[in-house]
Amino acid sequence: MEKGRIIIVEDEENILNMLTEFLSSNGYEVDPFNDSRKALSALKNNGYHVLITDLMMPKVDGLQLINFIQKEFIDTLGIVMTGYGSMESAITAMRCGAFDYLLKPFKFEEVLATIDSAIYYYNLLKSDTIPKGLTLKANLLRRYSENKMVRENTILRSALKDKYKFENIIGISFPMQKVFEMIERVADTNATVLITGESGVGKELVARAIHYNSSKRDNPLVVVNCGAIPETLLESELFGYEKGAFTGAVASRIGRFELASGGSIFLDEIGDMSFNLQVKLLRVLQEKSFERIGGAKTIKIDVRIIAATNRKLEELVEEGKFREDLYYRLNVVPVEIPPLRERRQDIPLLVNFFLEQSNRINNAAIEGFSEEAMKALIEYNFPGNVRELQNIIERMVVLKRSGHIDIEDLPEKFYSHEREEAPRPDADIDIDKGYDTLVSEFEKTLIMKALSETQGVKSKAAQALNINRTTLIEKMKRLGLDGSSNS
């Protein structure tokens, strides 16, 4: 079976032929056109998945084709081709609704990657793989287009950067695109960065990306896990000590701050640092210098500080467990990584990324996931975030080794969760209750589901349901649901 139907519009014969041949030999069904006017009428009736079009063409240009797709509500996703010199036109095309762009001269693997992702989205949007009905589907589309806008801003700065990837960080969702943009923006400054997010969201990955995209990249990135090292040890780890500073200090030793000289220090789990050490760290931040334990010499530091925590530092500050002045010193550039359940559109990309990775590491040959399995993964809440997803996939690859992953191959919680989440309404409906009661019950179920998925945060639940927050609150009152949740 062909992988997808593609229409290519390009007035330069050699590019047209080359692309046609390449894509055909890669399993796509291709219709080539060198006359864009003819392509226009072909677009209407042929149910193409993807349109690849040159921008500059006589008669009808690529932008007009993209506009035509939008205006006629044709499902085909448009990809425009343009030269480096005319990036602006690609941006305009994206603004008009093109799905993506290719810069000439392009690499074949880049063409394939772009088309594969377009076909993937096409299928995702057409099918009911996004199971929670219209809202999620609408959200996905909205996020995707917001996402495109953000990407446009970054295009000019880094024309060739992979759009769904920053270093080895995967993410197509709007919040991840913002994270990427932030990394780019702050990497080459000396600003202190505070990365926050639940466990397993990728804080360390982001910290590394910041260091390796900075001019300090050739100097060390020193990682200190403040939560894992006991207080007394942590102090000597950070600052080092002189010979005889305490019993057992038989020789002097340099600390991590000195080790990181000219580079970056990553203070992980900063929220777990003792109050006592917080004072000492604050001094380092303020004065850019410190002394080794038991030492008299003041040592100047030239180190970029990146801190991370999965705890809510503001709350710790309120509770008096974290120094407010240190918090402000650290929180110069905040980078917040949202939990995976709030950016589900990253899940399919991550799944494929980890699948390839696990296949390679374990010398296995899993080909992919059944639709049902992918759907279950997209729906799952991932309390352990990306790390949990990575572990699940690794385990499945190791256990199964080849073929497809089906829903039964997933840990049991995936399908039991699905069973309880998707009752068959038509089978359960008791018509005798009457229309109004039934509709109220359904409203109640919907609202409760949205609330449980958003941890009871009403504004987010309202957003998920695509209604106003005030409407939600009114409905909750009417249905007797208020008082049963927080926020």
Ligand X SMILES: Nc1ncnc2c1ncn2[C@@H]1O[C@H](COP(=O)(O)OP(=O)(O)OP(=O)(O)O)[C@@H](O)[C@H]1O
List residues binding ligand X (CB under 6 A): 168-171, 197, 199-205, 310, 350, 386-387, 390
Inter-residue contact 374 to 129 (CB < 8 Å) = yes
CA distances from 263 to 92, 212, 215, 216, 329 (A): 40, 10, 9, 5, 19
Q: Which is nearer to ligand X, 237 or 269 (CB)?
A: 269
CB of 391 vs Mg ion, minimal distance in Å: 15
Q: What's the CA gap between 119 and 97, in Å, rounded?
A: 16
**Quick one: 189 or 225, whose CB is closer to Mg ion?**
225
Please, are residues 241 and 249 in contact by the beta-carbon 8 Å criterion? yes
Residues forming the site for Mg ion (CB under 5 A): 203-204
Residue 306 beta carbon to Mg ion: minimum distance, rounded to whole angstroms:
12
Decide which of ligand X, Mg ion, none touches 199; Cβ closer than 5 to 8 Å per partner kind: ligand X
Cβ atoms of 79 and 51 within 8 Å: the answer is yes
Which one of Mg ion, ligand X, none interacts with residue 197, CB within 5 to 8 A by kind?
A: ligand X
Nearer to Mg ion, 103 or 193 (CB): 193
Residue 202's binding partner, choosing from Mg ion, ligand X, none, with beta-carbon cut-off 5 to 8 A by kind? Answer: ligand X
Partner in contact with 409, chosen from Mg ion, ligand X, none, beta carbon below 5 to 8 Å by kind: none
Cβ distance to ligand X smaller for residue 395 or 449: 395
CB of 203 to Mg ion, least distance (A): 5
* Displacement of CA 212 from its chain's centroid (Å): 19
Residue 248 beta carbon to Mg ion: minimum distance, rounded to whole angstroms: 30
Instruction: Report the nearest approach of Mg ion to the CB of residue 224 (Å).
Output: 12
> What number of residues does the chain have?
487
Q: What is the CA radius of gyration of the chain?
A: 27
Query: Using CB distances below 5 to 8 A depending on partner kind, what does residue 196 bind out of Mg ion, ligand X, none?
Result: none
**Cβ count within 10 A of residue 192:** 17
Least distance in Å: CB of 327 to ligand X?
18
Region label for 221, one of left (φ > 0), alpha (ψ between -120 and 50) or beta (otherwise): beta
Nearest to Mg ion of 228, 439 (CB atom): 228
Whichever of 161 and 444 has its CB closer to ligand X, that residue is 161
Cβ closest to Mg ion, residue 204 vs residue 372: 204
Q: Indicate the residue whose CB is closest to ligand X.
A: 202
CA distance 307 to 225: 10
Return the one option of Mg ion, ligand X, none that residue 271 interacts with (CB less than 5 to 8 A, by type).
none
Q: Which residue, 350 or 447, is less far from ligand X as judged by CB?
A: 350
29-33 and 50-54 strand pairing: unpaired
**CB of 40: closest distance to ligand X in angstroms?**
40
Among ligand X, Mg ion, none, what binds residue 310 when CB lies within 5 to 8 Å by partner kind?
A: ligand X
Question: Closest distance between Mg ion and the C-beta of residue 389, in Å?
Answer: 15
Closest CA to 349 of 197, 140, 186: 140
- Report how far Cα 444 is from the mean position of its chain's Cα atoms: 32
- Quote the least distance from Cβ 201 to Mg ion, whole Å: 9
Let me know the angle formed at the C-alpha of 88 by 86 and 90, rounded to the nearest 5 degrees. 85
CA distance 10 to 12: 6
| β strands within 363-433, DSSP E | 365-369, 402-405
Nearer to ligand X, 201 or 221 (CB): 201
Alpha helices in 158-292 (DSSP H): 174-187, 203-212, 231-239, 256-259, 275-287
Burial 119-140 (b: 16+ CB within 10 A, else e): bbbbebeeeebbebeebbbebb
Cα end-to-end span (Å), the chain: 51
Longest dimension (CA), the chain: 86
Q: Which one-letter amino acid corresponds to residue 159?
A: A
* Residue 170 contact among ligand X, Mg ion, none, beta carbon within 5 to 8 Å by kind: ligand X
Measured from the CB of residue 116, what is the shortest distance to ligand X in angstroms?
A: 18
Q: What is the sign, positive or negative, of the torsion defined by CA atoms of 389, 395, 400, 401?
A: positive
Q: Nearer Cβ to ligand X, position 89 or 147?
A: 147
